[in-house]
Each structure stands twice: as C-alpha cells, then as structure tokens.
C-alpha cells in the first residue's frame, strides 16, 4: 500500500469512527475539512448545541504497545490550539483513539467544560518525516505531548 493509500485508509477509518461515535453516544458531528490542516477533527453536537471539541487518531499498534511506550502521543501544536479553543469556547476537548491491533476504541477527556486540563501529560520531542510521502523527505524534530492518564474505553469494535 502506498503512503497516499495508507493516508486515505486512515481518513476513511476516522470517518467510520466518527459515524460510530454519533450512533453510540446519540450525538451529531460537525466535521472539519480533511483536506486542510485543522487542529481538531470534529465538533460534537447535541440538541443543536456544540458540546465538545474532538480529535481522532488511529494506530496500527495495540493499546498495550502504547502503554509500554509510556503513553499516547499527540502533536503539541494541535494540542495547544485545541486547549485554547476549549478554554475560549468553554467546551471539553476529547481525544479519541482506535487501536487496530486489538480493535479497541478509547477516549481521554483532555479538558473539562471550562477548559481545565484533566489528564497527566509530558512534553517530549522526536524525529519525524516532513511528509508521509517518504522519499527524500528530511527528518525534523516534532514536539509531542505524551498523555499518561488511562483512557476510558468506548468499546471493542471492528471497523
């Protein structure tokens, strides 16, 4: 599978996850454009009111693998923007992750309704490619936040 096909597969999977969340939690979503950079994937709504800011991640690894590494990573730039949005809009920020190896869907409530952080996190850095195309892409250091708090399980589900 090419890098572009892998990206499209993950985007399709994120769409299925959001669809599942809508049904499972009896909510609706306002989705952001996948073709453009946006700090969050969707806004969760209920009764025509925005109730949460949400980011979705898919991982080929198992949840146990992530625990061995010490926690779940989230891009610092995305996180800091989402935290500002949460505080300004007085909405919780939810980080939803699907682990493909064990078909586990979990979430972290990163902030509460007033934008206050509810999880333990540490800032770290690591090298990453500038783009998923690979090739001659240069490596750069990315600032990442490792979420150390245990998530809440939504469901074991196969997409």
Structure confidence at residue 142 (pLDDT) = 57
Task: Please state which CATH number belongs to domain 3-70+78-119+151-156.
Answer: 3.40.1350
Q: How many other CB atoms sit within 10 Å of the CB of residue 48?
A: 6
Tokens of 126: 């690591």
Q: How many other CB atoms sit within 10 Å of the CB of residue 102?
A: 12
Stated pTM of the model: 0.84
Mean pLDDT of 89-102: 94
Contact 9, 97 (CB under 8 A): no
- Sequential DSSP letters for 86-140: HHHHT--EEEEEEETTTTEEEEEE-B-TTS-B-S-EEEEEEEEESSTT-TTPPEE
> For 46-82, what is each residue's pLDDT tens digit?
999 999 999 999 988 899 888 888 888 888 888 999 9
For the chain, the structural domain boundaries read 3-70+78-119+151-156
| Interstrand relation of 93-99 and 49-59 (parallel, antiparallel or unpaired) | parallel
């Amino acid at each position: 599978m090419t890098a572009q096909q892998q990206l499209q597969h993950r985007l399709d999977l994120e769409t299925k996850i959001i669809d599942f969340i809508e049904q499972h939690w009896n909510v609706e979503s306002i989705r952001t454009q996948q073709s453009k950079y946006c700090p969050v994937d969707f806004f969760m709504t209920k009764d025509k009111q925005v109730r949460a800011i949400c980011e979705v991640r898919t991982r080929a690894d198992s949840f146990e693998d992530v625990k061995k590494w010490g926690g779940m990573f989230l891009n610092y730039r995305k996180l800091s923007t989402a935290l500002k949005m949460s505080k300004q809009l007085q909405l919780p920020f939810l980080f939803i992750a699907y682990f493909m190896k064990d078909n586990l869907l979990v979430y972290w409530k990163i902030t509460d309704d007033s934008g206050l952080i509810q999880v333990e996190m540490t800032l770290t850095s690591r090298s990453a490619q500038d783009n998923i195309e690979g090739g001659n892409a240069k490596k750069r250091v990315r600032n990442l936040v490792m979420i150390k708090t245990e998530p809440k399980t939504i469901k074991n589900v196969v997409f």
